[in-house]
Amino acid sequence: MADHEFAFLSQNTFLKAPAFDGARPYAVAGVAWDGCVTNRPGARFGPDAIRRSSHMLCDGTHPVFDTVALDHLTDLGDLALPNTSLEAMRAILQAQASLMLKRHHMVWLGGDHSITLPLLRALKAHHGRPLALLHFDAHCDTWVDHFGEPSGHGTWTYEALQEGLVVPEATVQIGIRSSGVREAREYVNDVGGRVFTARELRGCESPSQLGFVIDEIRRRHAAAGAPPIYLTLDIDCLDPAFAPGTGTPEPGGLSSNQVLSLLESLHDLPWAGMDCVEVSPPYDHAELTSSAAATFVWTYLSGLLAQG
Ligand code: MN
Ligand code: MN
């Protein structure tokens, strides 16, 4: 029976999934932290907005995968995190993430991108090996410091590689285009990974046009011994036309179709989890950004279910 509750007055969970159901294999959790944004704030409101936008998808059978993510999903709410120092937040996030990973395949709703480092630390410990990494972003996030501080939302990829959390050769970045010194922009290439800039992907939108990207990700993943692969999706990978609601928008970005072509085509990889970060609702228009984020998370979950 359909219920006709007005969506925005009902409980705000992703896809209107039941909350705190430990028996469900897939879970989302919000990480409402934006203490590391460097330009426009507001990513702490991202989880709430992404959940609201997901309500449109709540009865959805996915048109490519023919799966219903809602039937297998629970929402664990937003983590209770200290709004103090980055280090205090990360320590508690990592501890809570480690517990959740024992029970669920996790998708994290950010939050700014500084949350990904403790998530990778928890995942590496959980799996007992470094992960492959697929990183969508306008920014390389391989700066060696955060405007004079040791860590932030633009250093985590550098730190993850330095710490051995991810396999360098199986680290692929997509959509990179921001200003930045060569050492940062090319860091992933220099350590043996692969950076696909937004410029390199211009005019390539369908799975067949993006075949060279898909093939390269698969080749690198297989060559690394097919480790669990983590998806981190900074919403600013999209052009501001598709995602205006973000802290550091960069024109010349990816289209929603480019991201969807890649996510759909790579759905069969052994995914370890996902985060979607940097959605800043105060700068959004017509829920464009939160709708894109909700659709990417839904696509990821629906594709996982199609693995059987
Ligand atoms: Mn980022
Ligand atoms: Mn970014």
pLDDT of 58: 75
pLDDT of 261: 98
Ligand 2: centre distance to CA 185 (Å): 13
Residue-range domains of the chain with CATH: 14-306 (3.40.800.10)
Helix (H) or strand (E) holding 18, with range, is none
Cα 7 to the center of its chain, rounded Å = 25
pLDDT of 308: 80
- Give the pLDDT confidence of 186-224 residue by residue, as tens digits: 999 999 999 999 999 999 999 999 999 999 999 999 999
288-305 and 256-265 helices, crossing angle to 10°: 10
Ligand 1: centre distance to CA 242 (Å): 17
* 61-78: average pLDDT: 96
**CA-to-CA distance for 125 and 119, rounded, in angstroms?**
10
With beta carbons less than 8 A apart as the criterion, state whether 234 and 278 touch.
yes
Ligand 1: centre distance to CA 2 (Å): 39
- Give the pLDDT confidence of 228-246 residue by residue, as tens digits: 999 999 999 999 999 999 9
Instruction: Of 56-70, 159-173, 218-232, give the lowest mean pLDDT range.
Output: 56-70
Nearest ligand for residue 142 CA: 1
Provide the sign of the torsion angle of the four alpha carbons 93, 267, 153, 120, taken in this order.
Answer: positive
pLDDT of 6: 52
Tell me the whole-structure pTM to 2 decimals: 0.96
Ligand 2: centre distance to CA 232 (Å): 11
With beta carbons less than 8 A apart as the criterion, state whether 253 and 207 touch.
no
**CA-to-CA distance for 109 and 119, rounded, in angstroms?**
12
Residue 1 has pLDDT above 50, yes or no: no
- CA angle centred on 268, ends 262 and 271, rounded to 5°: 90
Start-to-end CA span in the chain (Å):
27
- Give the pLDDT confidence of 2-61 residue by residue, as tens digits: 555 554 445 799 999 999 999 999 999 999 999 999 899 999 999 999 999 999 997 789
Provide the sign of the torsion angle of the four alpha carbons 302, 3, 291, 41, taken in this order.
Answer: negative
Ligand 2: centre distance to CA 14 (Å): 23
With beta carbons less than 8 A apart as the criterion, state whether 217 and 261 touch.
no
CA distances from 253 to 77, 104, 126 (A): 31, 33, 34
Q: Who surrounds ion ligand 1 at CB < 5 A?
A: 113, 137, 139, 141, 234
Ligand 1: centre distance to CA 186 (Å): 15
With a CB cutoff of 8 Å and minimum separation 6, the contacts of 271 are 105, 228, 229, 230, 231, 300, 304
